[in-house]
Amino acid sequence: MNAEYLISDMIIPLRTSDTGEESLSMMNEFVVRHLPIVNNQQLLGLLSEDDILDHDTQEAVGSYRLSTNRPYVQYDDHVYEILRLIAEYRLTLIPVVDQENNYIGVVTMEDMIQYFARTASFSETGSIIVLEMDKRDYHLSEMARIVESEGAVILSSFITSNVDSTRLDVTLKLNQQNVQSIIATLNRFDYEVKATFNESTYVEGLKERYEGLMRYLNV
């Protein structure tokens, strides 16, 4: 998935003549903390809420000195590059430009969340297994082989690591809810299972707590 397929048509860019007060009002309306400044299709920069509060809100934003660089993505950049820049600069949205570097829109953090929520790895029911291991022991192909030997499939995976440690957490989303045999096989291959999350168990737990509350209220 590329940036051009995630562009929001709801966000209106700022003009250099807009005041800080007007910009804050627009941010409040769009529920964001950043807005692009555009002049004749040229992306001039990305204005943050903090930038406005550091200046006179009655002045035009074109006179502001912006705290951030000019982060943006090309229309054909992959969704992972969008997510990387949003995380690096802690943005609520990021501008998108075309091949001539003309502004064509923005991708919002909400757009990103909805995109990932619609993907099969998030929307399909199943279970989550978190493994802890040393970095040198990470072999996704081997983990996939073990999972598939039990009739399951890894829908998605991601790694959480710390630069100060040789350990990392590997999170696997599987397409099965009953993963006891998979856990047993992982343990047999000396994998350390740190945590498991099962959707059906979670829902059943909520149902039990709800029924308990209803019984209590009927007493």
**Cα–Cα dist 154/145, whole Å:** 10
Residue 197's pLDDT is 85
CA distances from 163 to 87, 102, 129, 168, 202 (A): 17, 38, 23, 10, 33
Instruction: State the amino acid at position 149 in one-letter form.
Output: S
Mean pLDDT, consecutive 10-residue stretches, the chain (219 aa), reads: 88 95 96 94 92 94 81 92 92 94 93 79 80 94 95 91 88 91 95 84 57 61
Residue 206's pLDDT is 53
What domains are defined for the chain?
Answer: 3-116 (3.10.580.10), 120-205 (3.30.70.260)
Residue 94's pLDDT is 96
Provide CB contacts within 8 A for 58, sequence distance 6+: 19, 20, 21
Residue 104's pLDDT is 95
Residue 121's pLDDT is 65
**Cα–Cα dist 105/69, whole Å:** 18
Residue 161's pLDDT is 84
Say how far residue 116 (Cα) sits from the centre of its chain: 7
Residue 24's pLDDT is 97
CA-wise closest residue to 95 among 44, 28, 52, 22: 44
Residue 164's pLDDT is 83
**Cα–Cα dist 202/205, whole Å:** 5
